[in-house]
Amino acid sequence: MSSALQKNRPGAAFPFDNSYVGLPPRFFAAQAPTAVAEPWLIKLNEALAAELGLDVETLRRDGAAIFSGNLVPEGAEPLAMAYAGHQFGGFSPQLGDGRAILLGEVVDRSGKRYDIQLKGTGPTPFSRRGDGRAALGPVLREYIISEAMFALGIPATRALAAVTTGEPVYREKVLPGAVFTRVAASHIRVGTFQYFAARGDTDGVRALADYVIDRHYPALKEAETPYLALFEAVCERQAALIARWLHVGFIHGVMNTDNMTVSGETIDFGPCAFMDAYDPATVFSSIDQHGRYAYANQPAIGRWNLARLGETLLPLIDAEPDGAVDKANAVIKSYGERFQAHWLVGMREKIGIAGKEDGDLDLVQALLTLMQTQGADFTLTFRRLSDLASDNATESEFAAGFREPDACGTWLAQWRERLSRDPQTATATATATERAIAMRRVNPAFIPRNHRVEQAIEAAVENGDFSLFESLLAVLSKPYNDQPGFAAYMQPPKPNERVLATFCGT
């Protein structure tokens, strides 16, 4: 198996160490960003920059020029990646980075390799009819939500910087233009594999698979059947990831195969949003009219997308087609069990159970059903249950979140009975407090509530006021801490504040 990865090379603002550019030329198009009129640095994520070993001083000084694409830093080898994808079930054999440019890669202090990508930097050979630009609103949304996901402990691409361009972008109306700088373990998608498979380019699929194994799953180099092992490993990471989404009420919104990474990171925060009141059918995206990507459909869509990945790998899995299909099918079948296991582990933690009993699934389901029929807020219910575990809240405070407070009594009695049998309870005297602490670590107080995100975006877009954006980022950076000064940020929207639809703004 070939290795495209090189040694770290110390450099100027970015110690670039590029490997994707070493893949065959048909994998990408060399493309420099298009300069903009008047770049202004909204935000630099200094903590992330430092972790990545970047020169923070230089970025403070030249950040507007660098993160707008006006100044291509030394060592960058800018390119647009080729990929394909199923969008809402329909296949497009050629998508690619239509408005994004990979500047290059850096290796962080712990030895992990990351892509530095600018999004909104003008047309590329993959732009089709698009302008290659991004509007300020979606840039701020991606900044807020990707950083919130990171703080929640959920694998996600990260936000390094946001700039305004001083140029208008034309959507349904004229909007301020912006560029987002994204950091990702890589930008390789299920759709990247599909790009080569759709062309019958098995050598391309193999070169990509070897690169992915090298970069994301190096242990598999020793596996007996590395490509089948790769497929299984990607299924495992996606099963774990989608379970984590469900645990915090996250709805991705556009789970197209070009928006699903093989690294297991959440990517492309277009019309994504967090659910307030629990309803498994929740959809926010204005373009998802049939609810394909609704909250509770996400595990099944993950499976569908992974089946598409499996198809691209068939010629590598086994030279004998029937054998390849059987092996890939067995992996896809295991995805459901993997997802269910991850989901249940997390749900047990959310209700404070350390052990395992057969009835736990029913207990969890009963709470979810109750929340749904009683219009209870997903996040607050679990956070208040954590308080209840250590008697920091009364049952009536917990029950106040339900339309008919009396409706929770039976479930709470079953829950307490289950806790009394839990191993934690039998061994320690301080267990109630310990249990509550453990529950608070998995049940956030703060999520990026959609109405807060929209308020922050509106203030920035309409009035150039970034103060709400800043305070939201600050609160969301510690989602599991009580932050009494920000108690209002915990609250669901009032009826007049509710935001029912989100737009990807592309």
Residues that bind Mg ion (CB under 5 A): 259, 268
- Give the start-end residues of each E strand in 266-424: 273-274
Q: How far is the CB of 133 from ligand AMP (least distance, A)?
A: 6
**By three-state DSSP, how is residue 355 classified?**
coil
**By three-state DSSP, how is residue 475 classified?**
helix
Residue type, 308: R
Q: Which stretch binds ligand AMP (CB under 6 A): 94-102, 141-149, 275-283, 343-351?
A: 94-102
CA distances from 272 to 116, 251, 253, 489 (A): 22, 6, 5, 19
Site for ligand AMP in 131-160 (CB under 6 A): 131-133
Query: 308 Cβ partners below 8 Å, 6+ apart?
Result: 86, 190, 194, 257
Q: Does 130 bind ligand AMP (CB under 6 A)?
A: yes
- Give the start-end residues of each E strand in 185-323: 250-251, 273-274
Q: Does 504 bind ligand AMP (CB under 6 A)?
A: yes
Judged by beta carbon, residue 96 or residue 249, the one nearer ligand AMP is 96
Q: Does 34 bind ligand AMP (CB under 6 A)?
A: no
Whether 258 is a known active-site residue: answer yes
Q: How far is the CB of 159 from ligand AMP (least distance, A)?
A: 16
Q: Which of 127, 225, 334, 471 binds ligand AMP (CB under 6 A)?
A: 127
Greatest C-alpha distance within the chain: 67
Q: How far is the CB of 287 from ligand AMP (least distance, A)?
A: 9
Judged by beta carbon, residue 68 or residue 259, the one nearer Mg ion is 259
Closest Cα to residue 147, out of 456, 476, 446? Answer: 476
Judged by beta carbon, residue 19 or residue 117, the one nearer Mg ion is 117
Q: Which of 17, 142, 232, 268 binds ligand AMP (CB under 6 A)?
A: 268
Q: Determine whether the annotation assigns residue 182 to a binding site.
A: yes
- What are the structure tokens assigned to 304, written together? 């569908």
Q: Which does 131 bind (CB under 5 to 8 A by kind): ligand AMP, Mg ion, none?
A: ligand AMP
Q: What is the DSSP letter of 422?
A: S
Closest Cα to residue 21, out of 80, 71, 74, 85? Answer: 80
**CB count, 10 Å around CB of 401?**
20
Q: Residues binding ligand AMP: what is the number (CB under 6 A)?
A: 18
φ, ψ of residue 466 in degrees (nearest 5): -100, 10
Length of the chain: 506
Which residue in 17, 115, 210, 258 is the catalytic one? 258
Buried b (16+ CB within 10 A) or exposed e, 319-353: eeeeebeebbeebbeebeebbeebbeebbbbbbbb
Q: Which of 140, 254, 275, 277 binds ligand AMP (CB under 6 A)?
A: 254
Q: Which does 318 bind (CB under 5 to 8 A by kind): ligand AMP, Mg ion, none?
A: none
Residue nearest to Mg ion (CB): 268
- What are the structure tokens assigned to 26, written together? 């048909």
The continuous run of DSSP H or E covering 134 comes out as: strand 134-135
Give the residues lining the site for ligand AMP (CB under 6 A): 95-99, 126-127, 130-133, 254, 258-259, 268, 270, 504, 506
Residues making up the annotated binding site for ATP are: 96, 98-99, 119, 131-132, 182, 189, 268
Residues making up the annotated binding site are: 96, 98-99, 119, 131-132, 182, 189, 259, 268
Residues making up the annotated binding site for Mg(2+) are: 259, 268
Residues tagged active-site? 258
